[in-house]
């Protein structure tokens, strides 16, 4: 725009010199037209700025990762003068990426008409994508003036990780863990605890008769056994960065996918569980009871709505001070680094520890030094997946 202003000023100087050298009606008319035209363009642009409006379709979204999403922006021009050049500026930010991407589009809008722009968006990784509609800049036909409309619209898209099947023997081992708590609402088949006493019903086993109470009550009474609740399995996703942005995105996506898959298959086997979420800002853990797959999804939402912690802040170090009450601890981490391995060895002496760690396919055969005594399960992932991408497609003009 500055170049156009300099060129137009140069044109005014030439026309002024032309009028001074060749005085006449033609040279005067050209000079007056060159002086009045910018004034007309400015007030016309001011009128157009007051007549334009912007709408966006859909607010906040929750979709599976690697699926296509359309972010739609509709710009309406209520002025009878068409807008030749309108620049729309959007900023896209992924929670796993430290950098943001800015997209600018130059679009014309006809008089008394609307223009709809579609932005197809997809990301191979889970996380939260924030779309900021920043500015709408209007230009006059000669690009001498511009007027900006500052917008404060933000759309948050939550991308949930996919769920992949895991080995059944892992789940069966966890289901065999003995529980020390029993249901207070439902009876079961564990004779070590008595759930209640009730009157005899046809079909009850003789081994369940409570002979002493039956003799006192002069009626047949039956013992109801308790239902053990296995809530001693704790899942701990280590939600932190591990190097470069795309390295973090690929590894965190693999770790959270494994966390989601393990939790859901444990629900299918009737294993109730708890989840620990580390709050780095407050330096403490939030404990969530996962009674169903919906609770697991809610835990994932709570994680993905925040940015990952720094690489130098592994939450497992603080876990030593918490001393969680459990018999089995499932630890999911994107980086099995030397800082966390000593802490995991201490935890392995207290709990039945299983470590799920993300690792590149070419390094899967090499267990990190010091982790030989840990029960480690590698999660293979590749950094060759494409980065999250965005394209822009114009929609057809929409009549008001």
| Model pTM score | 0.69
367 φ/ψ angles, rounded to the nearest 5 degrees:
-80, 135
Q: In degrees rounded to 5, what are phi and psi of residue 358? A: -80, 140
Secondary structure tally for the chain: helices H, strands E: 8, 19
For the chain, which residues make up each domain, given as ranges?
1-160, 168-178+230-381, 181-229
Average pLDDT over every residue of 78-103: 86
- Name the least confident of 125-129, 159-163, 234-238, 241-245: 241-245
- Which range among 23-37, 38-52, 166-180, 355-369 shows the weakest confidence by mean pLDDT? 166-180
Instruction: Work out the pLDDT band at 396, boundaries 50, 70, 90.
Output: very low
pLDDT at 387 over 50: no
Give per-residue pLDDT as tens, 312-324. 555 666 665 565 6
Looking at the chain, the whole-number percentage of residues with pLDDT higher than 90 is 8
CA pair distance 135, 58, nearest whole angstrom: 19
Q: With contact defined as beta carbons under 8 Å apart, do 320 and 260 qualify?
A: no
Identify whether the C-beta of residue 393 lies closer than 8 Å to the C-beta of residue 369.
no
Fold match, 1-160 / 168-178+230-381 = no
Q: Is the pLDDT of residue 294 over 50?
A: yes
**CA–CA gap between residue 146 and residue 16 (Å, rounded):** 26
- Tallying the residues shown for the chain, one arrives at 400
Locate 141 and state its tokens: 């036909």
- pLDDT for residue 134 is more than 70: yes
DSSP 264: H
Structural tokens at position 399: 């009549």
Residue 391 — very low, low, confident or very high, per pLDDT cuts 50/70/90?
A: very low
Nearest-CA neighbor of 319 among 345, 285, 293? 285
**What's the pLDDT score for residue 170?**
63
165, pLDDT greater than 80: no
> What residue has token string 């137009």?
8
What is the architecture of the domain spanning 1-160? Answer: Sandwich (2.60)
Counting residues of the chain whose pLDDT is more than 70, the rounded percentage is 78
Q: What pLDDT sits at residue 36? A: 93
Tens-digit pLDDT profile for residues 244-287: 666 778 888 888 888 888 888 888 777 778 888 876 666 667 78
pLDDT band at 174 (very low <50, low <70, confident <90, very high): low
Which CATH code is given to the segment(s) 168-178+230-381?
3.40.50
Average pLDDT value for the chain: 78
Q: Is the pLDDT of residue 234 over 70?
A: yes
């Amino acid at each position: 725009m500055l170049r156009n202003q300099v060129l137009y000023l140069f044109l005014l100087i030439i026309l002024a010199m032309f009028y001074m050298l060749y005085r006449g009606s033609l040279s005067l008319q050209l000079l007056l037209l060159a002086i009045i035209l910018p004034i007309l363009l400015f007030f016309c642009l001011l009128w157009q700025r007051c007549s334009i409006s912007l709408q966006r379709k859909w607010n906040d979204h929750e979709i599976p990762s690697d699926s296509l999403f359309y972010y739609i922006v509709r710009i309406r021009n209520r002025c009878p003068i068409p807008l030749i050049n309108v620049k729309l500026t959007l900023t896209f930010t992924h929670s796993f990426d430290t950098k943001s991407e800015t997209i600018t589009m130059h679009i014309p809008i006809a008089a008394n008409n609307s223009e709809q722009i579609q932005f197809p968006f997809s990301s191979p990784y889970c996380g939260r994508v924030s779309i900021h509609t920043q500015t709408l800049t209007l230009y006059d036909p000669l690009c001498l003036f511009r007027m900006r409309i500052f917008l404060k619209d933000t759309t948050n898209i939550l991308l949930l990780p996919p769920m992949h099947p895991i080995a059944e023997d892992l789940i069966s081992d966890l289901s065999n863990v003995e529980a020390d708590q029993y249901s207070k609402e439902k009876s079961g088949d564990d004779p070590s605890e008595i759930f209640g006493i009730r009157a005899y019903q046809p079909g009850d086993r003789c081994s369940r008769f409570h002979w002493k109470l039956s003799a006192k009550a002069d009626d047949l009474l039956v013992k109801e056994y308790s239902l053990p609740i296995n809530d001693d399995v704790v899942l701990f996703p280590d939600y932190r960065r591990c190097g470069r942005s795309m390295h973090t995105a690929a590894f965190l996506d693999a770790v959270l996918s494994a966390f989601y898959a393990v939790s859901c298959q444990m629900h299918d086997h009737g294993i109730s569980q708890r989840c620990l979420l580390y709050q780095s800002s407050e330096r403490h853990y939030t404990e969530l009871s996962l009674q169903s797959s919906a609770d697991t999804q809610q835990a994932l939402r709570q994680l993905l709505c925040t940015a990952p912690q720094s690489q130098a802040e592994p939450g497992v170090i603080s876990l030593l001070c918490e001393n969680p009450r459990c018999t089995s601890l499932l630890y999911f981490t994107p980086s099995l680094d030397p800082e966390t391995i000593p802490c995991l060895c201490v935890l392995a002496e207290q709990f039945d520890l299983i470590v799920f760690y993300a690792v590149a396919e070419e390094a899967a055969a090499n267990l990190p030094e010091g982790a030989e005594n840990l029960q480690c399960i590698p999660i293979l992932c590749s950094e060759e997946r494409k980065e999250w991408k965005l394209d822009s497609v114009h929609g057809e003009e929409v009549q008001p």
